[in-house]
Amino acid sequence: MPKPFILINLKTYSEGAGQRSHAIAEAAEIVAHESGAAIGIAPAYMNIHPLSVHYSLPVYAQHVDGSAPGAHTGAVTAEALRMAGAQGSLVNHSERRLTLADIEASVAALRDVRLAAVVCTNNEQTTAAAAALGPAYVAIEPPELIGSGVSVSKANPDIIRRSVDAARKVNPDVQILTGAGIQSGECVKIAMDLGTSGVLLASSVVKAKAPIAVLRDLVSLL
Ligand code: G3P
């Protein structure tokens, strides 16, 4: 099986804030080294720079604005993310939905500074629309399963299958992730067998007593 990309979204969980983001990054780096899997982390903005300095794993933002550098008080630009050491950003996460025009602007802003866009979607129609914008990744996540502890891989493999087909029809080059309730090596294997390149996840790792044990399980069936 090809090696998956596992992207850990720390969201705004207290368990993933401040120094705890470093502990998760360190665990992810160890497991990436042991397994050969690519493991990335998407911390809060203020941790992007420290994590990118201290660890070798790819660091992503959880959101980016499509604004150009200039007079846009409070905006987070793609250029600022690149300067902070990020390799890409989530766009349109279920907890940070955007208009289609905003998604297009964010993907274009990331592309301009050579950062990877991971556009999150909720069904095969939005996956096809997102894939047409030419991001590096689309990430299909049924909102009702997010944070539920019920894995999309097991509860709704059909939505993954349909989204992979829909994305491939409009953009054969886009890589596809899936997420919501991902928690084990079996979830990752099912997602990969259905044609994805990996998974986007949060609570199973971030809220675990021992994140390294969950990470080792996630890569256990490679
Ligand atoms: O961004 C990943 C996310 O929305 C899935 O969350 O907690 O179900 O893994 P979780």
State whether the beta carbon of 120 lies less than 6 angstroms from ligand 1.
Answer: no
Q: Tell me how far apart the alpha carbons of residues 110 and 210 are, in angstroms, rounded to a whole number.
A: 34
Contact status, residue 66 vs residue 105, Cβ threshold 8 Å = yes
Question: In this structure, what token pair is assigned to residue 8?
Answer: 């850990």
pLDDT at residue 28 above 80?
A: yes
Across residues 88-117, what is the average pLDDT? 98
Catalytic residues: 93, 141
Q: What percent of the chain has pLDDT over 90?
A: 98
Q: Tell me how far apart the alpha carbons of residues 155 and 184 are, in angstroms, rounded to a whole number.
A: 14
Q: What average pLDDT does the structure give for the chain?
A: 97
pLDDT at residue 36 above 90?
A: yes
Please report the pLDDT score of residue 2 as a whole number. 80
Contact status, residue 142 vs residue 159, Cβ threshold 8 Å = yes
Question: In this structure, what token pair is assigned to residue 2?
Answer: 């090809």
Crossing angle for the helix pair 185-193 and 211-218, nearest 10 degrees?
30
pLDDT tier at 84, thresholds 50, 70, 90: very high
State whether the beta carbon of 58 lies less than 6 angstroms from ligand 1.
Answer: no
Task: Tell me, in angstroms, the distance from the centre of ligand 1 to residue 53's CA.
Answer: 25
State whether the beta carbon of 201 lies less than 6 angstroms from ligand 1.
Answer: yes
pLDDT at residue 111 above 80?
A: yes
Q: Which residue CA neighbors atom 4 of ligand 1 most closely?
A: 146
| Class of the CATH domain delimited by 5-218 | alpha beta
Q: What does the longest C-alpha to C-alpha distance in the chain come to?
A: 49
pLDDT at residue 110 above 90?
A: yes
State whether the beta carbon of 21 lies less than 6 angstroms from ligand 1.
Answer: no
Which of 95, 203, 205, 214 to mutate for ligand 1's pocket (most ligand atoms within 8 Å of CB)?
Answer: 203
Across residues 82-99, what is the average pLDDT? 98
Cα–Cα nearest to 85, from 118, 43, 120: 43
Please report the pLDDT score of residue 1 as a whole number. 72
What is the position in ligand 1's atom list of the atom closest to the CA of 9? Answer: 1
Please report the pLDDT score of residue 222 as a whole number. 85
User: CA-CA distances (angstroms) from residue 221 to 65, 90, 109, 127, 202?
Assistant: 37, 26, 36, 27, 20
- Render pLDDT for 39-79 as a digit per residue (tens, 0 to 9): 999 999 999 999 999 999 999 999 999 999 999 999 999 99
- Render pLDDT for 130-185 as a digit per residue (tens, 0 to 9): 999 999 999 999 999 999 999 999 999 999 999 999 999 999 999 999 999 999 99
pLDDT at residue 85 above 90?
A: yes
Please report the pLDDT score of residue 131 as a whole number. 98
Please report the pLDDT score of residue 191 as a whole number. 97
